[in-house]
Amino acid sequence: MTAWEIKGWCPGALRPMQSGDGLVTRIRPPLGRLTPQQAQAIAEAAQSHGNGIIDLSARANLQLRGVTEASHPRLIADLRAQGLIDPDIETESLRNLIVTPFSDAETNALATTLTAALTRMPHLPGKFGFALDTGPRPVLTDASVDIRVERATDGRLILRPDGHPLGQPVTDLAKDAVDMANWFVQSGGITNGRGRMAALIARGTVPPGCTLAPADPLATPSPCLHPDGALVALAFGQMRAETLQALAALGHELCPTPWRMLLLVGATELPAIPGLITDPTDPILRITACTGAPGCPQGLGDTRNLARDLALHLAPDQTLHISGCAKGCAHPSATKTTLTATGQGYDLIRNGTAHDTPSLTGLTPQAIQDHLKALHAPYL
């Protein structure tokens, strides 16, 4: 039996989730992008109705923290005026769509088509999601979704169920996506209201017609100038409202990404704004850390202050996941090195997830630092 609570759903704007610092209110950008006016409105809402902290989620959404029961209605009213709020909770919960930030006119049209199709989906688990990854080569391969729209090696659009190497050729995107979602439901993909496509595929159940291989994926991008604009990162995907205000003032569309970075569409130089990470070698980029205590009520220890202290002790090729509890929300899959807060220190797990059997237990921050220094020694 787990010692943490599994919600089984993601927060939304209309259905926020209680956390240690108030309500977490998640905004799903329409078609995966924000106008400067929308970004400015979100920043102002974060300051007026929350605690001014904004997170980028692993599903390319923005989360406003510190919202209260009293301030939430005013927040929704302000964001609704900017076209950022769905008509109801059901529509919002179905709009789990990640769109590649490196889009073109065709991708934008496909995003409109797929967004409309989401309202016709069967009743799906709260975390069930879609990725529109239609550049020449996919970049969202590591994003946690269930149905992927990609390009085959010959350039044709395919619909690929997560967990399977091949996809179906697309003839009608809206119909094909709804059909695959229905197949998932009818094939027993849901148990007690929960279920993911990869788990169904792992049981040997595969939708018909999956014959085409996707193009080879690209590596996760680093902060850089890209042909589409400037890609900038944020430590642990978190920023103050003032940072978003400064970005909005630059006049570019903003595309949140599942890598907890922002693409400033059309920018021709990396902005020099405090709080942004533009150096691809910054060691903070190699650490994944959840909110931890006290921001998360399930957190059993600090995560991000510890991460900053440990960053300089990482070897150049070393990555680290720090989790406030064994749930491992920030990185559910296995990593080479994971630290899990337990309330009695930190457990260290090698090549596993936050809830796997640890190699070392009850470590203090100093003991962790000493351990990382020893691993770092060959590079010094």
140-186 pLDDT tens trace: 999 999 999 999 999 999 999 999 999 999 999 999 999 999 999 99
pLDDT tens for 115-125 read 999 999 999 99
- Domain residue limits at 164: 92-202
Query: What's residue 378's pLDDT?
Result: 47
* CATH number where 346 lies: 3.30.413.10
Query: What's residue 2's pLDDT?
Result: 46
Percent with pLDDT over 70 in the chain: 96
Cα–Cα distances (Å) from 153 to 21, 136, 138, 167, 211, in that order, read 47, 9, 11, 11, 12
Q: Is residue 218 part of a domain?
A: no
Q: Is residue 170 part of a domain?
A: yes
Domain count of the fold of the chain: 2
What is the rounded average pLDDT for all residues in the chain? 93
Question: Considering 156, 181, 202, which residue would you say is the last residue of a domain?
Answer: 202
Question: Considering 202, 218, 236, which residue would you say is the last residue of a domain?
Answer: 202
Mean pLDDT, rounded, for 249-277: 96
Q: Is residue 181 part of a domain?
A: yes
Q: Is residue 248 part of a domain?
A: no
Q: Is residue 316 part of a domain?
A: yes
Task: Answer whether the bond into residue 294 is a cis peptide, omega within 30°.
Answer: yes
Q: Is residue 136 part of a domain?
A: yes
pLDDT tens for 308-329 read 999 988 888 888 999 999 988 8
pLDDT tens for 291-300 read 899 888 889 9
Query: What's residue 318's pLDDT?
Result: 86
Question: Considering 145, 168, 202, which residue would you say is the last residue of a domain?
Answer: 202
Q: Where are the beta strands (DSSP E) in the chain?
A: 17-19, 22-27, 53-56, 62-67, 97-99, 130-132, 147-151, 157-161, 168-169, 224-226, 229-234, 238-240, 254-256, 261-265, 276-277, 287-289, 320-323, 335-341, 346-352, 360-363
Q: What radius of gyration, in Å, describes the C-alpha atoms of the chain? A: 21
pLDDT bin (cut points 50, 70, 90) of residue 84 is very high
Query: What's residue 377's pLDDT?
Result: 54
Q: What crossing angle do the helices spanning 241-248 and 36-49 adopt, rounded to 10°? A: 160
pLDDT tens for 97-115 read 999 999 999 999 999 999 9
pLDDT tens for 279-289 read 999 999 999 99
Q: Is residue 122 part of a domain?
A: yes
Query: What's residue 10's pLDDT?
Result: 81
Q: Is residue 362 part of a domain?
A: yes
